[in-house]
Amino acid sequence: MRLEIGSSHRRYSLHADLLAEGRVEITVVVCTTDGVIRGELTGELDTCDLSEVGRLIASAPIASAVETTSSAASPAPAKVTRHGQAWTPEAIIYLEEHYRAGKGPEHLAEELGRSEKSIRWKLYGLKLAPYPGDLVPDPRPAVEPEAPKAYTVEAKRQLYPNASLGA
């Protein structure tokens, strides 16, 4: 099952797969309207617990605090200091721990001195975030094949029947 809703600032996606023994795997993704992932929640539950978990989320007191902080102006992007450098095991552990703790790619990019694009691709590679399809460039338009060049007088006469080719 897949459900999606959106607002003027965010898109929300819920994906649920039924598993064996009355369990369900749920993934919730929150992203901006242009596809920048702002958060993800993934896990397994017994199907009998779904309604109570929904009530718990709906009654969470942090909802109003989250809305006010997310609507605040975003800070200027941090300067990338590790452009092209390989990921160290320590940086990967930091990324995994802090992403699971709720930090978004933009904050992790600032803290790790990398681009948000790099963070999102690494999260995808670690199977922590969905495929960042909005980062893939659009396919190039097909190139029109050129007409074959005529190198003989006969071929030139066929292409340009009214031309004077002097033979």
Q: Tell me: the pLDDT tens digits for 70-102?
A: 444 444 555 566 667 888 999 999 999 999 999
pLDDT reported for residue 89: 92
User: Could you tell me which residues come within 8 angstroms of residue 70 by beta carbon, excluding any fewer than 6 positions away?
Assistant: 9, 38
Which 8-state DSSP code applies to residue 30? E
Looking at residue 65, its pLDDT comes to 42
Residue 29 Cα to chain centre, angstroms: 10
DSSP-H helix ranges across 15-164: 50-58, 63-70, 89-100, 105-112, 116-125, 153-159
| For residue 130, pLDDT beyond 60 | yes
pLDDT of residue 92: 93
% of the chain exceeding 70 in pLDDT: 77
pLDDT of residue 93: 93
- 140-159 pLDDT, tens digit each: 788 888 777 767 778 778 88
The predicted model gives 120-135 an average pLDDT of 84
CA-to-CA distance for 102 and 119, rounded, in angstroms?
A: 14
Q: Which of 144, 124, 142 is nearest to 132 (CA)?
A: 124
Which pLDDT belongs to residue 90? 92
CB under 8 Å to 49, separation ≥6 — which residues? none
In tens, the pLDDT along 26-85 reads: 888 888 877 888 888 888 888 888 777 777 776 666 544 444 444 444 445 555 666 678
Q: pLDDT category, 14, cuts 50, 70, 90?
A: confident
